[in-house]
Amino acid sequence: MNNPITSWDNEYARLARAASQLRTTSPNSPSFHSTQQRQGQASSIQTGLNRLASQLNALESNLSLSPAEVGRRRTILEGLQGQMSSEGGAAASGGGGGVVGVGRGESSTAAALRQQDDMIDELAVGVGRLKNQTHLIHQEATSQVRLLDEMDNNVDLANQGLEEETRRAMRLKEEKSVWRLHLIIVGLSVLLFLLILMGLS
C-alpha cells in the first residue's frame, strides 16, 4: 500500500522527530553534540525538508492531493522549516559558548510548546495516513461487494436454467406417457375388433 503520499507523510514524521530531538537536547545530556555536529544535523534536516517541498509541488501538479491537503501539508512544512532556520542560525552564530547559551536561554515553557507543536504535526500526518488507508480499504470493500453481486447474479441465472431444464424434462415425460396410453388404446381396440369377428363367425 505504500504510495507517494504515504511516503511523504512518513518522511515528514521522521524529520519532525529528528528536529524535535535536536532542539530538546541539553548541553548536559550524554547525547549532546558539538556545534559542528549540530549544524550538520540541522543542514541534513533542512535538505530533507527542501526535498519534501519539491515532492509536495509534484503531488500538487499531478493532482494527487486536494488543494486543502496540499495547503495543510505546506503549512506544517513551512513551520518546521522556520524552526530549523532559527536553530541553524543560533548554532552558527554562537560557536561553542553559543550552544551552551541555547540550552540556558531556552525556557522550559517554550520547549514544551514546541514539543506540543511537533506532536500535533505528527498527529496530523498520522491522521492523513489513516485517511489514505481508509480510502484504500473502502475501495477494496466496494470491489468485493461488486464481485459478490456478480456471483449472486450468476447463481440466479444458473437456477433459472436449472428450472427451465426441469420443466422441459417434465414435458417430455408427460408426452411420452400420453403416447404410451394411445398405443394401449389402439391395441385394445384391435383386440376387441378381432374378438367380435371371431364371435360372429
Do 83 and 19 form a contact (C-beta atoms < 8 A)? Answer: yes
For the record, the C-alpha cell of 122 comes out as: 505528527
- What are 84's three cell numbers? 530549523
Q: Does this model's pTM top 0.75?
A: no
Q: Per-residue pLDDT tens for 120-154?
A: 877 888 888 888 888 889 888 888 888 888 888 88
- The mean of the pLDDT values for the chain is 77
Distances (CA, A) of 183 to 57, 101, 134, 169, 191: 91, 120, 74, 21, 12
Helix axes 67-105, 35-61, angle to 10 degrees: 170
Strands (E), the chain: none
Write out pLDDT tens, residues 47-104. 888 888 888 888 888 877 788 888 888 888 888 887 777 665 555 454 444 444 444 4
Residue-level pLDDT at 100: 40
pLDDT at residue 79 in the model: 82
Predicted confidence at residue 89, as pLDDT, reads 56
Structure confidence at residue 110 (pLDDT) = 67
